[in-house]
Amino acid sequence: MEILSSNLGYPRMGAKRELKKALEGYWSGKISEEELKDTATNIQKQNWQTQKDAGIELIPVGDFSYYDHMLDMAIMLGLIPERFRHLADKQGNGIKVDFPTYFAMARGAKDTPALEMTKWFDTNYHYLVPELDIQPSVLENSLLAKYQMAKELGFNPKPVLVGPYTFLKLSKEAGLSKKDILPELLSVYKVILTQLAEAGVQWVQIDEPGLVLDMTEEEISQVEAIYQQLATDRLNLILQTYFGGVSFYERVVNLPVSGIGLDFVRTEENLENLNKYGFPQDKILGIGLVNGRNVWRTDIKKAFALAQTIIEKARSKGVIIQPSCSLLHLPVTIELETKLAPEIRTILAFAKERLGEIALLTEAIKNAKLPEDVFSHEREVHALPEVKERVRSLEERDFKRGESYEVRSQRQQKVLNLPLFPTTTIGSFPQTKDVRQMRAKFNRGEITQEEYEQFIREKMAFCIGVQEGIGLDVLVHGEFERSDMVEYFAQKMTGFIVTKHGWVQSYGSRCVRPPIIYADVSRPSPMTVKEITYAQSLTSKPVKGMLTGPVTILNWSFVREDIPRSEVAYQIALALRDEVLDLEKAGIKIIQIDEPAVREGLPLKKKDWSAYLDWAVKAFRLTHAPVKPETQIHTHMCYAEFQDIIEAIDAMDADVISIECSRSRGDIISTFEDHHYRKGIGLGVYDIHSPRVPSVEEMLVILRRCLKVLRPEQLWVNPDCGLKTRQWKEVIPSLQNMIIAAKRLREETQKN
Ligand code: GLN
Ligand code: ZN
């Protein structure tokens, strides 16, 4: 039996985010096209070398991208939407996608909006959505060029591309239907594959993560038809799936390809199906054995035992040992985290460290024997028995507010005395350069804590003054002290670490640095009380306490796996609960607990939704259940498509929610027609992502639409998200218009 080691994809940014810097330098005109290309080539070479040095036999090419791999795929398939075609065909010489065209598709150009962007499965990576408005055609086989470059440099490259099923599944019909273009699409794929075969390519990885989503009979039949057509004996086509178990396992493994790659890390589904249905003996099995989505070092003994079970059961022609998915979703290397405590460092593995694990496991499997002293998780680091006990002893009533919403809202109104259609904002105000610079200075030790805090107080005072001047009803402190809504809290709670270079690509040149939850979570001291009470001391209007919710903190972090996610969520929730009570004690009357990431944490398969929503809702309730009925709890969520989880949102039992709405042009409003939502609600009246100042009239249009389905007493008036990325000169007039809109609405309503 043949045994090979392989990788599915490597981070694209470079260890020090070289690509980010080069891209942004190029976009701002500071570096040339050549310099950008050089940086990209160097990163790819470096990545291939790292993988080769680690002992990886099949090294991916085509996993790198200047912006996004779905965009690259669309271009390779000739799917340049109409509005970009004139850019791509400057002198009528035929379509050729140069950098300006490529980046116009990615980021938009003057009067030409970019492709839409959305989440890549349940990751925090965002891809560009291909648009179908023209038949596919062979443009340029860029994969072939990349293969040749890697080959010449002496590597053993394995071209990677997105398969037709997933590609279509994630595309958007724009004049042509998916069915319309399928035949032509397949002929282009065939040309690409044939050219690769002719160039001597032996292995091709064709990614079909779409197969782990829920699928219909019609869809699996379509997949069968697709691969019937792509079947070839000129090269080894490995159909690669990841992010979970495949739907229709027994049919997927029998598709006419040389090998099937399955994820054995994320869930047990593939293993269960392997036990049930076996595996075709004339095929190669790609065993996703080390985690491409999380940062814990692999327990080598366990992974080795799992591999042996799989191999024995599958009896396949060959096996490939590989990560569960592309390593794109991991930071580059733990080597750069020199300041981490050794006991934490030794339990972590980023992309580079995963390669070592794969090589080691492959070797062990070849020899049917593990070397001595391999890594195994034995003990938990920094356990907090009192935190565990607190979670264990939770009872039903700990998750429930004492009074019904009706009682609460009356009591709150007595205390708050708010006008009809109260106006507020979502929390952050412009994080201008001076704020970032002061924070950097403070972190470098160039200014004292006292100086930094004084600076933050001045910012808050300014912000409160601005809000009073504009005439908002419920104020915020502005979040100037926060680098990021999750990282800020991670730094204040135990059980988290934040890294220095642990960047993961989010989209294009944008990276995020998720905190790592490695131990039990607790809150040694209040986290926000000082700032909020200071802001409140400056005004007689209510200032909202501002916290990030447990589900969002969890979903935007790397999470420990030795206890269930739900338990980690409860631990965070209990820490936040203490904070909520401290804020209440300090006289804060409204507390907002943001949960923008609830929706995106939904599992990929519908059957798993209710289990997730159950603990997610409970975790949120845990944070606010013990407050007095007079204390008003708000929450905020962004990104559309709440339709399918509206009941869960209701069950979170916040007194007021604010949701993004303006980008979906108010489409979400209709959701409330069928669902009898009775609590307070603010549907964002303008899009904060755009620098333009919205008019009073356009905000009134949205508000009037809201009033068709909501009672006037329910409706709040607010922008659709935090104002952190905006400038004061846009924020002030926008909010002034918002206040005018609210006043007009009050007049209209009172007249009727
Ligand atoms: N309170 C946060 C802010 O205003 C909410 C951010 C978010 O929804 N992502 O910045
Ligand atoms: Zn938001």
Cα-based distances in Å from 680 to 630, 631, 744 = 14, 14, 20
**Measured from the CB, is residue 426 less than 6 Å from ligand 1?**
yes
In a domain, 622, yes or no: yes
CA max distance for the chain:
84
pLDDT in the model for residue 746? 98
Burial class for 519, CB neighbours closer than 10 Å (0-12, 13-18, 19+):
buried
What is the Cα–Cα distance from 248 to 451, expressed in whole angstroms?
Answer: 62
Q: Which of 367, 388, 418 is the last residue of a domain?
A: 367
Dist. CA 596 → ligand 1 center (Å): 8
Q: Which of 367, 396, 422 is the last residue of a domain?
A: 367
Nearest to 208 by CA among 8, 17, 502, 369: 8
Pairing of strands 259-263, 494-497: unpaired
Dist. CA 722 → ligand 2 center (Å): 6
Dist. CA 479 → ligand 1 center (Å): 9
> Which ligand is nearest the CA of 427, by number?
1
Burial 627-655 (b: 16+ CB within 10 A, else e): bebbbbbbbbbbbeebeebbebbbebbbb
Q: For the whole prediction, is pTM greater than 0.85? A: yes
Dig out the tokens for 402 from the structure. 């004492």
CB neighbour list of residue 18: distance below 8 Å, 6 or more residues apart: 39, 42, 43
pLDDT in the model for residue 675? 76
Q: Which of 367, 390, 421 is the last residue of a domain?
A: 367
Dig out the tokens for 136 from the structure. 């596919």
**Measured from the CB, is residue 430 less than 6 Å from ligand 1?**
no
CB neighbour list of residue 6: distance below 8 Å, 6 or more residues apart: 56, 57, 58, 60, 158, 286, 320, 321, 322, 358
Q: Which residues pair with 189 in a beta bridge?
A: none
Report phi then psi at 285, rounded to 5.
Answer: -110, 120
Report phi then psi at 588, rounded to 5.
Answer: -80, 130
Contact yes or no for 511/20 (Cβ under 8 A): yes
What is the Cα–Cα distance from 225 to 228, expressed in whole angstroms?
Answer: 5
In a domain, 177, yes or no: yes
Report phi then psi at 240, rounded to 5.
Answer: -105, 125
Specify whether 280 is located in the same domain as 413.
no
* Ligand 1 atom nearest 636 alpha carbon: 8
* Ligand 1 atom nearest 592 alpha carbon: 1
CATH number at residue 305: 3.20.20.210
Range of the domain at 315: 2-367
Specify whether 99 is located in the same domain as 164.
yes
In a domain, 374, yes or no: no
Tens digit of each residue's pLDDT (9 = 90 or more) over 559-607: 999 999 999 999 999 999 999 999 999 999 999 999 999 988 999 999 9
What is the Cα–Cα distance from 695 to 675, expressed in whole angstroms?
Answer: 30
Indicate the top mutation candidate among 431, 463, 479 to test ligand 1's pocket, ranked by most ligand atoms within 8 A of CB.
479
**Measured from the CB, is residue 485 less than 6 Å from ligand 1?**
yes
- Total count of domains within the chain: 2
Specify whether 363 is located in the same domain as 408.
no
Of the chain, the end-to-end C-alpha distance in Å amounts to: 81
Dist. CA 658 → ligand 2 center (Å): 9
Specify whether 149 is located in the same domain as 297.
yes
Pairing of strands 680-683, 656-659: parallel
**Measured from the CB, is residue 484 less than 6 Å from ligand 1?**
no
Specify whether 309 is located in the same domain as 414.
no
Where the chain has pLDDT below 70, the residues are 639-640, 661-667
Specify whether 29 is located in the same domain as 150.
yes
Specify whether 281 is located in the same domain as 411.
no
In a domain, 393, yes or no: no
In a domain, 662, yes or no: yes
**Measured from the CB, is residue 289 less than 6 Å from ligand 1?**
no
In a domain, 732, yes or no: yes
Q: Which residues are catalytic?
A: 689
Report phi then psi at 625, rounded to 5.
Answer: -55, -40
SS3 606: helix
352-355 — which CB contacts under 8 Å span 24+ positions? 352/50, 352/54, 353/297, 354/290, 354/291, 354/292, 354/298, 354/323, 354/327, 354/330, 355/7, 355/50, 355/51, 355/54, 355/55, 355/56
Write down the number of H helices and E strands in the chain. Answer: 27, 23
248, HSE (Cβ side, Cα atoms, 13 Å): 18
> Which ligand is nearest the CA of 545, by number?
1
Specify whether 505 is located in the same domain as 359.
no
**Measured from the CB, is residue 329 less than 6 Å from ligand 1?**
no
The distance from CA 689 to its chain's CA centroid, rounded to whole angstroms, is 18
User: Can you tell me which residue has the tokens 């009192």?
Assistant: 386
Cα-based distances in Å from 315 to 1, 58, 450, 742 = 9, 21, 67, 69
Specify whether 289 is located in the same domain as 412.
no
Q: Which residues pair with 290 in a beta bridge?
A: 323
Dig out the tokens for 79 from the structure. 């799917």
What is the Cα–Cα distance from 575 to 585, expressed in whole angstroms?
Answer: 16
**Measured from the CB, is residue 158 less than 6 Å from ligand 1?**
no
Dist. CA 68 → ligand 1 center (Å): 26
What is the Cα–Cα distance from 6 to 725, expressed in whole angstroms?
Answer: 41
Cα-based distances in Å from 351 to 246, 261, 746 = 24, 19, 56
pLDDT in the model for residue 243? 98
What is the Cα–Cα distance from 206 to 164, expressed in whole angstroms?
Answer: 9
Supply the residue whose CA is at minimum distance from atom 4 of ligand 1: 722
Contact yes or no for 521/494 (Cβ under 8 A): yes
What is the Cα–Cα distance from 533 to 417, expressed in whole angstroms?
Answer: 20
Supply the residue whose CA is at minimum distance from atom 1 of ligand 1: 427
In a domain, 463, yes or no: no
SS3 305: helix
* Ligand 1 atom nearest 721 alpha carbon: 8
Dig out the tokens for 411 from the structure. 């009591």
In a domain, 198, yes or no: yes
Specify whether 65 is located in the same domain as 190.
yes
pLDDT in the model for residue 752? 76
SS3 153: coil
Pairing of strands 494-497, 516-522: antiparallel
pLDDT in the model for residue 688? 87
Dist. CA 20 → ligand 1 center (Å): 24
Contact yes or no for 207/240 (Cβ under 8 A): yes
pLDDT in the model for residue 665? 58
**Measured from the CB, is residue 731 less than 6 Å from ligand 1?**
no
Specify whether 412 is located in the same domain as 362.
no
Dig out the tokens for 401 from the structure. 């507010």
Specify whether 412 is located in the same domain as 323.
no
**Measured from the CB, is residue 514 less than 6 Å from ligand 1?**
no
The full DSSP string for 475-520 is B--B-TT-SSTTHHHHHHSEEEE--SS--EEEETTEEE---EEEEE
Contact yes or no for 112/83 (Cβ under 8 A): yes
- Helix (H) or strand (E) segment spanning residue 591: strand 590-594
Cα-based distances in Å from 267 to 9, 393, 399 = 20, 29, 29
